[in-house]
């Protein structure tokens, strides 16, 4: 049985994903998939932003004490996202001309609305040739 802390964390994650989707749609993104899981990692969202396929990581924190949501993406996490992206892209019939890794960072504050930040091209896969 999940603990109260685990359940609260899941609820915060679900709220964060909804807010991130709203932000992305308001910026013109067309979300085509969410929570795409592979043995090597997960893509939180996949979307088109004009002619660019965006592989999106959503990070949320309840405190900026350790550098905030964006700083919570470690090298290990970034490599897992890149591996998941490779799996996703290898399964596409038509390869996109342009692929980008974006991050939505969400910092929850005790009082008031959370702060959201969208970073386009937050990191890349220097070894990849997507086309």
130 near 91, Cβ under 8 Å? no
pTM for the whole structure:
0.86
Q: How confident is the model at residue 5 (pLDDT cuts 50, 70, 90)?
A: low
88 near 46, Cβ under 8 Å? yes
Q: What is the mean pLDDT of residues 22-31?
A: 98
Structural domain boundaries in the chain: 4-123
Q: How distant, in Å, are the alpha carbons of 21, 29, 105 from that of 127?
A: 29, 26, 25
- Considering the domain delimited by 4-123, tell me its CATH architecture: 3-Layer(aba) Sandwich (3.40)
Q: Residues 6 or more apart from 42 whose CB is under 8 A from it?
A: 35, 36, 80, 81, 84
H-type alpha helices, the chain: 4-26, 68-71, 75-90
Helix (H, G, I), strand (E, B) or coil at 97: coil
pLDDT tens digits for 47-67? 999 999 999 999 988 766 666
Q: How confident is the model at residue 131 (pLDDT cuts 50, 70, 90)?
A: very low
């Amino acid at each position: 049985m999940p603990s109260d802390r685990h359940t609260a964390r899941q609820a915060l994650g679900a709220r964060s994903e909804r807010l991130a989707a709203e932000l992305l749609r308001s910026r013109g993104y067309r979300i085509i998939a969410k929570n795409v899981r592979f043995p090597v990692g997960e893509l939180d969202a996949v979307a088109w932003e004009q002619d660019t396929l965006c592989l999106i990581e959503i990070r949320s924190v309840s405190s900026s004490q350790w550098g905030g949501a964006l700083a919570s993406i470690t090298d290990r996490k970034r490599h897992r996202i890149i591996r998941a992206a490779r799996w996703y892209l290898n399964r596409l019939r038509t390869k996109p001309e342009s692929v980008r890794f974006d991050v939505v960072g969400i910092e929850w504050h005790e009082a008031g609305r959370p702060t959201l930040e969208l970073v386009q091209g937050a990191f890349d896969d220097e070894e990849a040739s997507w086309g």
